Structure 1
Amino acid sequence: MKFLAICGSLRKKSTNMGLLRYAQANAPEGVEFIIADISEIPFYNADLTEKAASVLKLFEQLAAADAVVFGCPEYNYSLAPALKNAIDWASREQGNPLLTGKPAAIMGAGGGMGTSRAQYHLRQVCVYVNLHPINTPEVFANAFTNSFDGDGNLVDAKIQGNIVAQLEALVTWTKQLQK
């Protein structure tokens, strides 16, 4: 089973990327966990007649993925532009084959409420592009506590456990949707 992770934060020491790195290192047995690089993807523009190599790479990764895992930061009470842009590009393919019907999981690190508001906005986007995110367990982390080290790596045991539980639930959900 292949999971493709997409992080909405482009910072090197991003705590959201830290969540995804932890998920990658602790993915359930039998899961190949790949983190996409969306840092070079241009803003979506229907006038662009050729897709950039970074867009084509994301499309290739999405086509091969059985499920998608989002690292969802919160910017101004909503999801990050880089994350929305990656979804916008993928959703514009004829018939939406890269996203439609795929299972997904959402995790995020941000301010006092984690990234709860952004995650709920992302869930609304998932409805439109026909992604199917799991409902529980949810992963919300406060990025401004000692849950992360100075490089953005997750060190909090409770959140680590939530991530492992979420990935196990995503495996189950993916198998269910593939029937």
Structure 2
Amino acid sequence: METSTRKLDIVGICGSLRAGSLNAMALRLAGESMPPDMRLEVIDWSQVPAFNADVLERAGPPAEVRRIRERIARCDGVVIATPEYNFSLPGMLKNLIDWLSRGADQPFARKPLAILSAATGPLGGARVQYDLRRVLLFVDATVLIKPEVFIGHAQSKFDGQGRCTDDATRQFVTAQMLSLERLILQGRLLEQG
């Protein structure tokens, strides 16, 4: 499939705000595993306030939310790496999506998006992915169906510097990033008619 000379611009969102997050490591691995025509920028969303519809109606979205909305609207695709909290989404990640989803111009609509998760348990965050897919379905994102990436026992698959040491994990993430590239390029072809 042909690509233009411009690199595909991918926004990364980590569902954990922890400095040493396994999912931040997984997101870094996704960036390293992308084809040469893709570039990942992980955005900082740690200053997004708790969603308040009164604030939204009175003054519109806060500046930090507007900045992230604009960044996602401009990108070619999104990768979300998130932990599983209490069998579901981290509250702050859901909060971010709630802010971004308000308005007819919400940036997730028809945006190609891949999900991966890393966890210390054997399931690798499988439950969070299914809940996140439901939320993203509602905001009309074009979520990559396969391959799914669940990094179980993730603490044993990354070293002290956050580098992936597991070949199988690296291969799964590389396959997912290749599929995300195809999804983006197929979408472009459909738009061109």
45-54 vs 12-21, which deviates more? 45-54
**Which residues in structure 2 correspond to 1:12-27 (within 5 Å)?**
12-27=19-34
When residues 159 and 90 of structure 1 are mapped into structure 2, their CA distance, relative to the original with a 3 A threshold, is same
Larger Rg: 2
Q: Work out the CA distance in 2 between the residues paired with 1:175 and 1:3.
A: 13
Q: In the alignment, is residue 123 of structure 1 matched against residue 130 of structure 2?
A: no
- Which residue of 81, 91, 108 corresponds with 1:81? 91
TM-score (norm 1): 0.92
Identity %: 37
Asked if 1 retains the 8 angstrom alpha-carbon contact of 2:124 and 2:154, the reply is no
Q: Work out the CA distance in 2 between the residues paired with 1:143 and 1:59.
A: 33
Q: CA deviation at 1:158?
A: 0.8
**Which residues in structure 2 correspond to 1:52-91 (within 5 Å)?**
52-91=62-101
Matched with 1:98 is 107
Letter in 1 for 2:174: V
When residues 143 and 65 of structure 1 are mapped into structure 2, their CA distance, relative to the original with a 3 A threshold, is farther
Gapped regions of structure 2 (runs ≥ 5) = 1-7
When residues 20 and 45 of structure 1 are mapped into structure 2, their CA distance, relative to the original with a 3 A threshold, is same
Matched with 1:7 is 14
Matched with 2:144 is 134
Letter in 1 for 2:11: L
TM-score (norm 2): 0.86
Give the root-mean-square deviation of aligned CA atoms: 1.5
Q: Work out the CA distance in 2 between the residues paired with 1:78 and 1:59.
A: 24
Asked if 2 retains the 8 angstrom alpha-carbon contact of 1:13 and 1:151, the reply is no
Gapped regions of structure 1 (runs ≥ 5) = none
Q: Work out the CA distance in 1 between the residues paired with 2:168 and 2:179.
A: 17
Matched with 1:166 is 176
